[in-house]
Amino acid sequence: MTELIRQYPRRAVLVIGIPTLTAAVYLLFVMLFSIQQNGDLGATLDDTWIHARFAASVSRGDGLMYNPGVVTPGATSPLWVLLLGGIYAIFRPDVFEQVRIAIIGSSLGMILTTMAISGFGWWLTRRAWIGFVAGMITALTGRMIWMGVSGMEITLFTALTIFAIWSHIHDVRTGRTFGWRTGVITALATLARPEGYLLAVIIGVNAFVILPYLANGWHLVTWFKTRWDGWRGIVAYLLLAGSYPLACWLMTGYPLPNTFRAKSSLGEEAPNLLYGYFWTPRMDHGWLLIVLAVIGLLYLWRNAKRDGLAWGMWAVLFVIGVLYLGPQHYVVNNGRYVAPAIPFNALLAAVGLCSAVEWLKNHRTTIRTRAYYALLIPLVSLLLMGFAFWNGRGQGAGAAANAQDIMTMHVQAGYFFRDHTAPGDLIALNDVGAIVHISDRPVLDMIGLVSPEVLDAVDHFPARTCLYDLALARVMLDNPPVLIGIFPWFFPCMTNYNADGFQDMLQPFTVFSLPYREEGTVVAGGEMVIYFPVWENWPLHAEIAPEAQPLDVFFEDGIILGGYELEQVENGINIIFWWKVNAQPSGDYTVFTHLIDANGTILAQLDTRPMAGQFNTQWWQPGDIIRDARFIPLDQVDVDAITAIRVGLYPTGGVGNLRRITAPPGQEEFVLIDW
C-alpha cells in the first residue's frame, strides 16, 4: 500500500504533504477564529459532550455509563469513546478539557482523511495528479473542516473507510480475497460508525461475488478454489466488529446502539433521492464536480474487472443508505451523516476529469488541440479546488457560531441545573450532552439516546404528537424528574405549544434562547425552556388520590371508573373522576355527567371527552390512571332538588351508551353517585 511513497518519497511530499498541510492550516485558522470569537475552543455539537461523558466513564473503569450505575449502549461510536477514554485516563482532564481533546482528535482525523485520500488516489490510479487533486478538494471543503473541529467521530470514520477500501483493493491486486488487515480496518470503521456494516457488505460483495463473476463467471468449484483464503479477514472482522452488537444485545435486547434506534426512521418516510443525494456535493462543490464524478463512475464501471466496484459503490450506496435511514440526514447537523462521502466524490471527480481528457485526446485530437488538452487538467482541477473553497468559505465562521450556540444555551443550562438541583436529583432533557456532563445529574433522555426505556415506551408512536408525549409521561411517572428542560416544539402536547395540548402540565421556570440567531444553528430550537412538572395537572397519575371515594365500576372496552371526588363551591360543583384502564379502548368516548332529581330529570349536565376534551380515550393504555376534572355551574339549578349524579360514556359523535360489565338492574349504561 505504501510502495509508491517508499519509491518516490519526494513526490509523496508534494502529492500527500501539500494537501495535508493545507488541511492542517485551514483547521488551525478555524480553531483560532473560534477561540477569538468565543474565548474557548467549543464543540459545534452537543453530541460531542455525550461522547466525552461516556469516555470519562470509561476512563474511570465504569464502562459505558451515562447515569451512575447504569450501563447502556448509548454511544454510536464505541471506538471513538475508547480512544478518548484512554487519553482521559492518562491526563485526567476536566469536562471542558475533555471536549478540547475531542476537538483536537477530530482535527487529526481530518488530517488523516486528507492524507488517506491523497495516497489512495495516487496508489489506485498510479497518477500523482489524481491523488493530489482529490486531497486538495477534500482539504478545501468547508464542510469537512467543520467536521474536523466538531469533536465528533466523523473524520475518524471517513479515514478508516478510505484505508479499508485501499487495503481491500491491495488484497485484490496481490491475489488475496479478504485479508486479515482488511478485516481489522473494516471492523474498526464499523466500530467508529454503524454505517461501517454497509462498508463490510460492499467489500464482501466485491470480493466474493463481483470479482469472481467478472473473472470466471458462475463456476462454483472455481469460486471455492479462489475464495477460500478470505476466511482470515472474515474471522478478524467478526471478532472485532461483532463485539459491540453482542454487548448491545446483552444490555438492551437489540444489536444496535440506542442512538441508531432513536434516530433511524427506516421505512417511515421515503427520501427524495435526487434532491438528497446531490444536496451536499451541490452545496459544497457545484455541478462541475458532480458531472465529473459521474464520468468517474462510468470509468470505474468499464474497468471493473481489475479492482471491482467497491470504492465507487461505497460513494453511492453510503449516501443512499443514510437517506433511507432518515431523509433529514442529508442536512441535519450540517450534513454530518453524509459528509464521509466527500473525499470519495472528490476522487471520483479527479478520475472523471483525467478519463474525460484521455478520451478527448484519443478521439478529438488535432495538432492544435493537444496544447489545450495539456492545460485542461490543471485548469479544471484549479476550478474544482476553487469551488470547494469558495462554496465552503462560511463554514469556518459557522463552526465558531455553532460553538457559541452550544456555549450560550447548553453550557449555561448545565450550570443552571447544577445550581438549582441537588446531587442525585433526576432531570429530564431532550439534549443530554453538555447539560448532564456539567451538572453531573442523572438524566431521563426524552429522545432515548441514553435511556432505552424511553425507546421502548415511544416505539410506534410518531414524534411531536400527543401519543408520543403521553408515552413519555408514563415513563416519568415511574421515575419523576425534578426539572424538565426541552425545546417546546419537540413536545407540543406536553407543553401546550400550539394551544391544543394538555394545559398546565409544566410550569416554566427559566428560558435559554438564541435571540441573535435566526438561522444557521445546529441547535434544534432557538429556545430551551426549563419547566417544573406540575404533577397534579398531568393527565396520567401513578395512583388514585387517597381522598377519592372508591368505586371500581367496570365498563366495556377496558374502562373502569375507579373513584371520584366531589366538592360543592359557590356557583357550581367540582367533580374529579378517576378512570382506570385494563385494556386499550377501541373507541373515542365522551363522558356524560348528569345532575338529576328524584325522577331522573336532568337538572344540569356536562358532556365532554375526559380532561375538558383534551384526552381521547383511544390514547389510553392498560395500567393508566386518568384524573378527569370537570366543573358544572349551578347558577340556575335548584341545588336542593339534586339527588344523584349519573355518569357514563358514549361514542363521540355516535349513539348508544357504553355498557357496564355487571350492574344493578336499570343501571346497565351508567353509574349513579349519591349527592
pLDDT at 304 over 90: no
Angle at 583 (CA atoms; ends 582, 587), nearest 5 degrees:
130
Does residue 168 register a pLDDT over 90? yes
The tens digit of pLDDT for each residue in 623-633 reads: 999 999 999 99
Q: Is the pLDDT of residue 600 over 70?
A: yes
Q: Is the pLDDT of residue 363 over 80?
A: no
**What is the pLDDT, as a whole number, of residue 329?**
61
Pull the grid cell for residue 324.
Answer: 433511507
Higher pLDDT: 42 or 275? It is: 42
Does residue 52 contact residue 98 with C-beta atoms inside 8 Å? yes
The tens digit of pLDDT for each residue in 603-619 reads 999 999 998 888 999 99
Single out the residue of 256, 335, 288 nearest to residue 522, CA to CA.
335
Return the amino acid letter for 17: G
Instruction: Please state the rounded mean pLDDT for residues 104-129.
Output: 96
Angle at alpha carbon of residue 362, lines to 360 and 367, rounded to 5°: 80
Q: State the pLDDT confidence band at 3, using cuts at 50, 70 and 90.
A: confident
- Asked if 604 and 637 touch (Cβ cutoff 8 Å), the reply is yes
The residue ranking higher by pLDDT, 135 or 655, is: 135
Pull the grid cell for residue 35. 477561540
Query: How far apart, in whole angstroms, are the C-alpha atoms of residue 477 and residue 266?
Result: 30
**Per-residue model confidence as pLDDT tens digits over 412-459:** 999 999 999 999 999 999 999 999 999 999 999 999 999 999 998 998
The tally of CA atoms less than 13 A away on the side-chain side of residue 589 is 27
Q: Are strands 671-674 and 602-608 parallel, antiparallel or unpaired?
A: unpaired
Mean pLDDT of 318-341: 82
Please give the C-alpha separations between residue 26 and each of 9, 544, 625, 649, in angstroms, as whole numbers.
24, 63, 59, 69
Taking residues 583-588, report their average pLDDT: 94
Q: What mean pLDDT, rounded, does the chain reach?
A: 91
Name beta bridge partners: 67.
70
State the maximum Cα–Cα separation within the chain, in Å, rounded to a whole number: 113
Instruction: Go through 455-484 and write b for each residue having 16 or more CB atoms within 10 A of its CB, e for each that does not.
Output: bebbeeeeeeebbbbbbbbebbbeeebebb
Q: Which residue has the higher pLDDT, 26 or 370?
A: 26
Q: Residue 266 above 70 pLDDT?
A: no
User: Does pLDDT of 267 surpass 70?
Assistant: no
Q: CA–CA separation, 460 vs 3, rounded Å? A: 53
> So what's the pLDDT on residue 365?
64
Alpha-carbon distances of 494 from 472, 490, 498, rounded to whole Å: 9, 9, 10
The neighbour count for residue 500, using CB atoms within 10 Å, is 11
Distances (CA, A) of 581 to 536, 559, 561, 603: 19, 5, 9, 30
The model's confidence at residue 359, banded by pLDDT at 50, 70 and 90, is confident
Q: Is 578 helix (H, G, I), strand (E, B) or coil?
A: strand
Pairing of strands 483-486, 427-429: parallel
